[in-house]
Structure 1
């Protein structure tokens, strides 16, 4: 087996043994030296295998103590397609209410931020065109649930009361309702879902470990003429939430 992949074989074996109950939740595992000897590999390989399982959320390292079997965290289901933007509340608040959580969110914005090439392509504007960029932190019962970074073309909102999402009489009511208040009707949205690993900043904000698996969602909203009016990168911690999309089937006319 290639040297750089040998740790995966060790990780697979340890994962199977943990799931078989060889070590109970909260129990300390043997040292990396012990595993290195048992598997006939170097200590660095054993260490990398254990770190791999820490990233997966199966093990946890405790400074100055060792490595332990991590208690599984309950994963709840976030159904994104069931909840549309409602007056005074967006889909996140509706989803959390359904799960008996008190939802809130905070955001900070910056205006006249030049669009990068990637963002310009998503918004069908020119690179360098000014945008309002907003960082969101969504909370449920005071605990972080998801992060989002949003871009809105200033060509749409400049000079209106909704230029900054957190300010004015329409502040903090959701992008669909904000846009509707200035005569822009959002008709559709597209979401691309990918797995990713938490950056240090994301991990700090979400209360997870650097490198933990996250669900990355690229969302773009379009008005009724097909023009992109907002795009966002949303990050949800995989260890706590799974994403589901409800498919509505139209019934035949009777």
Structure 2
């Protein structure tokens, strides 16, 4: 088998060891969504395994959402696909009834701080970068967000030029810091608006709020972001399908 699998568990079958090795390469940023990964035949040669073993490993990573096959182009690292997931709780539409585009984002703060207790516990560190931003749909403020990311993973984030930022943070995490968000958990609760949040959301103090706490994890299942997003409860919707 050679040494190509690195530090993977030798008790695992070859496809599982290869899957873990490919995952590590993705985590290290050796492959990006812009270029296809090496062909199955090339990987089979590089790791001295059969093409069937490679296909089984790649199939597993496709199933986990780390890779995607593009017809006629090859297999690629799957870019983060959390474009506007928080906005599923606040379904707003244009005046003609059509869906709104990706929400706009206004960055209000980026600073190295000591994390409060809740994000420190979620991230396993209180050495963080704090981000405050407003999210709007058609110039209507919808979400006020406080976001915390560990300084150890995002050193220099607070000094990036404003031109580096688009409406989405997860692609930027990957492109600038090699951090690929694989999954996130959302916890929904309700509260009343403080004066500060009410002013930002253009609602009245003590108006009802929907509050969404999110923890995002990388492909090694390590927490890389904690955020709390607040929006008016008057526009809140929640849907769950039980099968």
- Deviation of residue 100 (structure 1)? 3.5
Tell me the TM-score normalised to structure 1 length.
0.54
Q: How does 1:1-254 map to 2 (within 5 A)?
A: 84-86=81-83, 90-91=84-85, 99-100=99-100, 103-125=103-125, 127=126, 129=127, 131-159=128-156, 163-164=157-158, 167=161, 170-181=164-175, 182-239=177-234, 241-245=235-239
- Deviation of residue 185 (structure 1)? 1.3
Q: How far, CA to CA, are the matches of 1:155 and 1:235 in structure 2?
A: 27
Q: How far, CA to CA, are the matches of 1:150 and 1:248 in structure 2?
A: 31
- Deviation of residue 199 (structure 1)? 0.6
| Inter-CA distance 213–155: structure 2 relative to 1 (3 Å threshold) | same
Aligned CA-pair RMSD: 2.9
Residue of structure 2 equivalent to 1:47? none
Q: How far, CA to CA, are the matches of 2:219 and 2:242 in structure 1?
A: 21
Runs of 5+ in structure 2 lacking a partner? Answer: 1-79
Q: Counterpart of 1:178 in 2: which secondary structure?
A: helix
Q: How far, CA to CA, are the matches of 2:138 and 2:167 in structure 1?
A: 19
Rg (Cα) greater in structure: 1
Runs of 5+ in structure 1 lacking a partner? Answer: 1-82, 250-254
Tell me the TM-score normalised to structure 2 length.
0.56
Q: Deviations over 1:95-140 (max 9, x none)?
A: 7676346732201223221122222101122x3x2x1111111112
